[in-house]
Amino acid sequence: MTPAIRATGAPDAQAAAAFIRGRVEGDWAAPVAGIVLGSGLGGLAQQLEQALPIPFSHIPGFPVATVAGHAGQVLLGRLAGKPVVMLAGRFHMYEGHPASLAAFPVRVLHALGAPVYIASNAAGGVRRTFAPGDLMLIADHINLMFRNPLIGPTEPGDERFPDMSDPYDPALRALMREAASAVGVSLQDGVYCGLLGPTYETPAEVRMLERLGADAVGMSTVPEVIMARAIGMRVVAVSCITNKAAGLSAERLSHAEVMEAGKAAGGQFEALITEFVRRLP
């Protein structure tokens, strides 16, 4: 059954943010960043100090997360001593959600005061030199989802025609590379391509993506980044390469494999993001 369409506008985001702030005892500290944890990368939530988890199902406008490996929680706490808000899971369009709902949590992070959006995802490696466990700093993306969360009336505070010439902030990408060097994590650069899913790509599709200039492929992130740019958030994103894309190896693809590879790379990912947050102003 297709999930019911929910309200996903700016006023709805303010209502969700007010609910979340209402769960905090004491003074509210605006987060320095909002972080979304992709499949298999949820271990970073364990690094939070003073963690306060709030299930998605309790938050106005949020549906229940249905994908294995997505805990379905908003977590408030401190990482590297700084206040952050984490999304342990996300909403995908292949679950039947519209693009506006897939991007709605970004509106909520912005309404909570986060100026920076840190996205992470599990992705298939299209670049032939990639191996499972590699981390890729996203330099740009290709939207082959053919969906956009901004379609419809312009919401208060949104930019109608956001500039996407630099969707992934150059200064934040430089800071992420500095963080990688500091903790000894190897970090590749590349282009992420977003497809709707939920099927993995065919070998012919992977050859097409390679010719189009994609280095990695996944089923998320793009709507979120579009939304973040429209509302003025700065964005940085990291893909965990969990498998070689179809046709580049003899292995069959499965979500269980994606989860295992994400967990295997979890230590490096956690060290990288923690150090990056430490360096945020």
Closest CA to 6 of 100, 145, 106, 105: 100
143 C-beta neighbours (distance < 10 Å), count: 16
> To the nearest whole number, what is the mean pLDDT of the chain?
91
Among residues of the chain, what percentage have pLDDT more than 90? 78
Each residue's pLDDT tens digit, 115-166? 999 999 999 999 999 999 999 999 999 999 999 999 999 998 999 999 999 9
Tokens of 264: 């295997």
SS3 229: helix
Is the pLDDT at 233 greater than 80, yes or no? yes
pLDDT of residue 279: 97
Of 273, 232, 240, 12, nearest in space to 116 by CA:
232
CB 107 within 8 A of CB 34: no
CA dist., res. 129 & res. 111, Å (int): 40
- The pLDDT, as a whole number, for residue 2 is 41
Average pLDDT over residues 226-248: 92
Q: Residues 67-91: what's their mean pLDDT?
A: 87
* DSSP H or E segment with residue 118: strand 116-125
The catalytic site residues sit at 39, 70, 92, 94-95, 122, 219-220, 243, 255
Does 5 have pLDDT greater than 60?
no
pLDDT band at 261 (very low <50, low <70, confident <90, very high): low
Q: Is the peptide bond before 198 cis (omega within 30 degrees of 0)?
A: yes
Measured distance CA(59)–CA(52) in Å, rounded: 14
* 195-213 pLDDT, tens digit each: 999 999 999 999 999 999 9
What is the structure's pLDDT at 3? 42
Q: What is the pLDDT of residue 262?
A: 64
Confidence of residue 24 (pLDDT cuts 50, 70, 90): very high
pLDDT at 1: 34
pLDDT of residue 192: 98
Residue found by looking up tokens 């003025």 in the block: 232
The answer as to CATH 3.30.70.1380 being correct for domain 10-20+27-279 is: no
Residue that wins the pLDDT comparison between 1 and 26: 26
Burial label, 6 (beta-carbon count in 10 A; 0-12, 13-18, 19+): middle
Residues 140-143: contacts with CB under 8 Å, at least 24 apart: 140/167, 140/168, 140/191, 140/192, 141/167, 141/168, 141/191, 141/192, 141/193, 141/194, 141/221, 141/222, 141/225, 142/191, 142/192, 142/193, 142/194, 142/209, 142/212, 142/213, 142/214, 143/194, 143/222, 143/226
Tell me what pLDDT residue 68 has. 53
* Nearest partner of 257 among 94, 134, 93, 132, judged by Cα: 132
pLDDT band, residue 4 (cuts 50/70/90): very low
